[in-house]
Structure 1
Amino acid sequence: MTVVSVSMPEALVERLDAFAEEHGYTGRSEVLREASRSLLGEFEDKRLEDRELMAVVTVVFEYETTNVEERMMKLRHEYESLVASNFHSHVGEHRCMELFVLEGELEDIATFVGKIRATKDTLSVDYSVMPVDELAALDAEQ
């Protein structure tokens, strides 16, 4: 097996080690392998391919980290055809939340989420994806 060196803040290493111990992993390497497999497989769901999708992406970052907000604005403009709506709000005293509503295909949504995750200093990135045609099925059930 290849050995890979990874840099991360000490607090994250401590959380990783605690998670490994609490959940019965043999160590942080096992946790990182599983997390990597999960991340890489996230957008490989065959039922989402070739369908029009709706996604909600939530990003949280520190208020003082202005380069994150600038990057969010840049991505919003770069993906103008994908971003149906965007909302910015202050959360607590020192944090901002950026919410994106996307409409498009899986590959474009995956690329957008990946670019947000790659933005330095984001604290949290969460998303959900749903096929638009399933919304019509929900209407029919009511």
Structure 2
Amino acid sequence: MQRITISIDDDLLDTIDRLSARRGYASRSEALRDIVREAVTREQSAEAEDAPCLATLTYVYEHETRDLASRLTRAQHHRHDLSVATLHVHVDEHECLEVAVLKGSVREVTTFADGVTTQRGVRLGALQIVPAVGHAGHAHDHQT
């Protein structure tokens, strides 16, 4: 492991310290390593559109929006090959939250997520992509 020195402004350092305390990091170094790893993973995912990934797509939608629930269901059935599981939560009498666990290429997952989150009536949407890597950094498939 290498030791480095960085210069950082006081406000940003305060933010890192609050993050470290909230998440329970033992040191600033651990927090910064995780922040850098997350940025590297995000960058690699964006560059590798054909790479396999796992992802969660989380979105909130107004279930009373005309035909939205059926459009979302059709989109999921149309790309059933990407779907691992979906969790549906009734937030209140007007809104639902869904979390879809997806598996496919970065391009396929991103295209699917864009198609869902741009629907009229979908208020919030977030896609979290995790590269599908197994042992020693190689793509890994658990199917037999």
Q: What is the TM-score with the length of structure 2 in the denominator?
A: 0.58
Q: Which amino acid aligns with 2:119?
A: T
Residue 45 in 1 paired to residue 49 in 2? no
* Aligned-partner SS, 1:129: strand
> Taking every aligned residue pair, what percent have the same amino acid on both sides?
28
Q: Which residue of 2 aligns with 1:118?
A: 118
CA distance in 1, matches of 2:125, 2:70: 16
Q: Which residue of 1 aligns with 2:22?
A: none
Q: Which residue of 2 aligns with 1:82?
A: 82
Q: CA deviation at 1:63?
A: 2.9
CA distance in 2, matches of 1:60, 1:67: 15
Task: Name stretches of at least 5 consecutive residues in structure 2 with no aligned partner.
Answer: 1-42, 137-144
Q: Which residue of 1 aligns with 2:26?
A: none
Flag as ranges the 4+ runs of structure 1 deviating above 6 A. Answer: none
**1:1-142 aligned within 5 A:** 45-46=46-47, 48-133=48-133
Question: Does the aligned pair in 2 maintain the 1:57–1:101 contact within 8 Å?
Answer: yes
CA distance in 2, matches of 1:79, 1:106: 14
Q: Which amino acid aligns with 2:75?
A: L
Q: Which has the larger radius of gyration?
A: 2
Q: Which residue of 2 aligns with 1:39?
A: none
Q: Which residue of 2 aligns with 1:31?
A: none
CA distance in 1, matches of 2:44, 2:51: 13
For residues 14-59 of structure 1, what are the alpha-carbon distances to aligned partners after superposition, in whole Å with 9 as ceiling and x for unaligned? xxxxxxxxxxxxxxxxxxxxxxxxxxxx99721x433210010011
Question: Does the aligned pair in 1 maintain the 2:45–2:131 contact within 8 Å?
Answer: no
Q: Which amino acid aligns with 2:91?
A: V
Question: Does the aligned pair in 2 maintain the 1:43–1:106 contact within 8 Å?
Answer: no
Question: Does the aligned pair in 2 maintain the 1:60–1:125 contact within 8 Å?
Answer: yes
* Aligned-partner SS, 1:81: coil
Say which is worse superposed, 59-68 or 115-124, in terms of deviation: 59-68
Q: CA deviation at 1:124?
A: 0.7
Question: Does the aligned pair in 2 maintain the 1:43–1:110 contact within 8 Å?
Answer: no
Task: Name stretches of at least 5 consecutive residues in structure 1 with no aligned partner.
Answer: 1-41, 138-142
Q: What is the TM-score with the length of structure 1 in the denominator?
A: 0.58
